[in-house]
Amino acid sequence: MSKKVIGIAAALLLFAALVPGLSAQTVLLEQNFNSAWTTTTPPTGWTIIYNDPAGTEDWHRYDYTNTGFSGGSARLGWVSGTWTDRLISPTIDCSNPDFSAIWVALNVYYDDFSGAHTAQFRGSSDGGETFPNVITDYDLGGSAVNYGPVRDSIDISSFALGEDDVVLEFFSDGNAYNFDYWYVDNFVVYGIEGGGPPSEDTFDWQLSNILRPANEEEGGVGFKPTCKIYLYTNYVEPNYAADPVWPADVECRITDLENMTVVYDKVLSDVPFPEGYTTVDAFPLFTPEGGKQYKAVFIVTGADDAVPANDNMEKKFIAILGEEVTPTEILAPLENQQNKFSPSAKFLEKAGVDEAAVVLHYRVENAAYMAVVSEDSVTHDFTANEEYTATFPEVNVLTDGGYTITFWATSAKGVPISKPEKSLAFTYTGIEEKPEPVKYALSAAGNAVSFSLAKSANVSLKVYDAAGNVVAILASGSMDAGSHQATWNARPGVYFVKLATPEYSSVCKAIVVR
């Protein structure tokens, strides 16, 4: 029960600090996910929609410990495949006419991996028939751009205030391989009663989320530290012009955890903040050193900030040793390629690390309409700085014309790691390969004679002894073109074999030993 009490107390303190004119806050729904529950037996009143049968990584209870999380949490994990998973709240009655606002507070952490995936916190005012209100979109785009861990407090009055059939849901759809985990905890919906605008304007800059660094950044590659900040204000028109902004300073400080040295400290002065969320991404690049651990701290400082306690956030991250396997030379095809070929290129590991299960690819595209006509891949385990020649199966589907072949590499996780890919435009001509024509020839090994005829002819093939006497007639008459063999019973000695046709004559020596 301690988590429940602390969550409510923190939220009430925040509302009391920000909106001093409020008279009461009513908890309409609370769920800390501590009780025993599963995908098929969710918490009381909640609904989980999953792809049958239930898997171990559909929405389920998980003991997760992180900032703001403790005890049980709701977790959705990654699987290989395209799925839809929904965690849906009970119906919430927000129709009390004394309410002036409806808020929801929750702890959330969305751990991204790569690629696009729909991960949204959505709202309905028709009992869950439709969910047209996207409260938060957790997939921030890019690769490994995480949301949280963070405690969010969100005003949902725009669709919930005055409604008696409000439903909230966490909606996941698409390729579930593109994220790692999604955690939700300490979920509370409040109705705010009474109050009204206070006599003086109140401001609260809140560090909401760290977008960069990600949990892992690539060593040697610069990135822009980026955070998201929420500004709450209760200003009242016409005291300010339409679409007003208020300035605040934002600092990013990065510490090398190996020696506890501050290696980056930059301040953006007088950043303009409208009411609501603002992404701050104007910091200069920071390039981490591969193999090191760092801590990034963001701090926002605004005048007359009502709640300084939520003005900073920190995040530890690792700078991984980079991955790079790049094609350096195309060996086949040639720019003017005749006949079939086996695509081949040299690849070089350039990050200086061992890379297991690197996938090497090629594709051939028709230059006229850019359609892929041939593609394949092979796998190789690279050692640091290794150069490897990859040769692919023969390409035999091309017709005469222009093509482009491209080589590149991806990691074991499917992430492109060639910087850059390597391409070659080439012209293909398929020339029919004709066999070498048969020529006249004669040879002998012992008593075995081999001869060939360029064309059909009348043939005389005789064997003579050293005195010039005919000792064997091996062929006499018409024979077809091509290769032929003949033998005779011979005693040891020296012999001469003579082949004669109307167009060809030849003699060769044959030595027969015992």
Encode pLDDT of 121-144 as tens digits: 999 999 999 999 999 888 765 555
Rounded Cα–Cα distance for residues 308 and 207 (Å): 10
Lookup: tokens for 302: 């605004």
**What is the tens place of the pLDDT at every residue in 309-319?**
788 999 999 88
Region 334-356 average pLDDT: 92
pLDDT value of position 22:
39
- Residues with Cβ < 8 Å from 345, sequence gap 6 or more? 327, 328, 329, 330, 331, 360, 362, 389, 390, 407, 422
Around Cβ 408, how many Cβ atoms within 10 Å? 23
pLDDT value of position 237:
52
pLDDT value of position 319:
87
Region 288-310 average pLDDT: 88
Q: Which residue type is seen at 162?
A: G
218-220-222 Cα angle (round to 5): 80
The mean-pLDDT minimum among 3-17, 89-103, 379-393 falls in: 3-17
Region 381-387 average pLDDT: 93
Alpha-carbon distances of 403 from 279, 407, 412, 434, rounded to whole Å: 44, 14, 29, 25
pLDDT level of residue 434 (50, 70, 90 thresholds): low
pLDDT value of position 12:
43
Q: Judge whether residue 239 has pLDDT over 70.
A: no
Region 267-295 average pLDDT: 92
**pTM for this model (two decimals):** 0.41
The mean-pLDDT minimum among 6-20, 207-221, 308-322, 390-404 falls in: 6-20
Cis geometry, peptide bond prior to residue 343 (ω within 30 degrees of 0) = no
pLDDT value of position 199:
39
pLDDT level of residue 470 (50, 70, 90 thresholds): very high
Region 420-433 average pLDDT: 86
The mean-pLDDT minimum among 24-28, 343-347, 348-352 falls in: 24-28
pLDDT level of residue 242 (50, 70, 90 thresholds): low
**% of the chain with per-residue pLDDT over 90:** 52
Are residues 331 and 374 in contact, defined by beta-carbon separation less than 8 angstroms?
no
Are residues 141 and 90 in contact, defined by beta-carbon separation less than 8 angstroms?
no
Are residues 198 and 20 in contact, defined by beta-carbon separation less than 8 angstroms?
yes
Q: Which domains does the chain have, with CATH numbers?
A: 1-196 (2.60.120.200), 200-321 (2.60.40.10), 325-429 (2.60.40.2550), 441-512 (2.60.40.1930)
Give the up-direction half-sphere exposure of residue 384: CA atoms within 13 A in the CB hemisphere.
5
pLDDT level of residue 21 (50, 70, 90 thresholds): very low
Lookup: tokens for 413: 């996780």
Q: Judge whether residue 238 has pLDDT over 60.
A: no
Question: How many contiguous H segments (helices) and E segments (strands) does the chain have?
Answer: 2, 34
DSSP-assigned letters across all residues of 416-444: B--SS-EEEEEEEE--PPPPPPP--EEEE
Average pLDDT score over the chain: 85
pLDDT level of residue 352 (50, 70, 90 thresholds): confident
Rounded Cα–Cα distance for residues 324 and 349 (Å): 6
The mean-pLDDT minimum among 93-97, 261-265, 330-334, 366-370 falls in: 366-370
Rounded Cα–Cα distance for residues 38 and 87 (Å): 12
Rounded Cα–Cα distance for residues 181 and 76 (Å): 6
For residues 346 and 306, the model is more confident at 346
Rounded Cα–Cα distance for residues 117 and 138 (Å): 9
Region 241-263 average pLDDT: 89
Instruction: For residue 461, report the phi and psi dihedrals to the nearest 5 degrees.
Output: -125, 110
pLDDT level of residue 194 (50, 70, 90 thresholds): low
> Please, what's the b/e burial string for 228-261 (b: 16 or more CB within 10 A of its CB; e: otherwise)?
bbbbbbbeeeeeeeeeeebebebbbbbbbeeeee
